Amino acid sequence: MFHLARSRMVLRIVATLAATGLVAACGFKGPLYLPPQPGQPEPEQSEPPHIPAPDSLP
């Protein structure tokens, strides 16, 4: 009886890990940019806009 309960617990753990892995793999995407083609210059890096901090908190 104990062996059957342990077998079911192992099966649940394996099934949960497999389902988690499948769901996590659904969101995998490649790089969010295309690498530059050979012979093209690198794009210039622009600085983010400077937003001054407020003088006081409300």
pLDDT for residue 15: 96
Query: Cα–Cα distances in Å, from 32 out to 22, 35, 38, 40, 57?
Result: 22, 10, 19, 19, 37
Does the pTM surpass 0.75? The reply is no
3-54: pLDDT as tens digits: 788 899 999 999 999 998 888 766 656 666 677 778 777 667 777 778 887 7
Taking the C-alpha atoms of residue 20 and residue 13, their distance in angstroms, rounded to an integer, is 11
